[in-house]
Amino acid sequence: MTTTQQPDPFGTELPPSFGPPGPRAGFWIRFGAAFLDGLILTVPFIVLAVVLNPALYFLLFLAQIAYFTYYEGGPTGQTIGKRVCGIRVIDRDNGGPIGYARGFVRWIGRLISGLFLYLGYLWMLWDADKQTWHDKMANDVVVRVGT
């Protein structure tokens, strides 16, 4: 198998890779991005819920859907946490954005990935493409940016 240079739809060249475009992001960098996104989404809502009304937890749920669908399905494929960590979500087959519909499917897949003792998140540790269950459901991969 030979290495091929894949064009990057965002204006830079992706490094040579085998198979689908781009080198895969590892477990810890993805964990760091998820942790940052969790802080961004959860801390303000907990403060509001304690001060104002526990019903705001439902707003947190809606905000998470909107946040992940919009940012991961958007042209950059990056949430704020992913941007800080230098990773992004791309289509597994062509390296482009996954779109908002698949961003939503990916969010639903997050719920499924966490159902069975987070096995869906840990799946990437032994998967050849370093894909979690939600990556597989949305047919995407998470790659490093600028390497």
Per-residue pLDDT of the chain (147 residues; tens, 9 = 90+): 344 444 444 444 444 444 456 789 999 999 999 999 989 988 887 777 777 776 677 888 888 999 999 999 999 999 999 999 999 999 999 999 999 999 999 999 999 999 989 999 999 999 999 999 999 999 999 999 974
pTM: 0.77
pLDDT at 50: 75
pLDDT at 45: 76
**Distance between CA 104 and CA 11 in Å, rounded?**
25
Task: Render 55-85 in DSSP notation, one character per residue.
Answer: THHHHHHHHHHHHHHHHHHSSS---HHHHHH
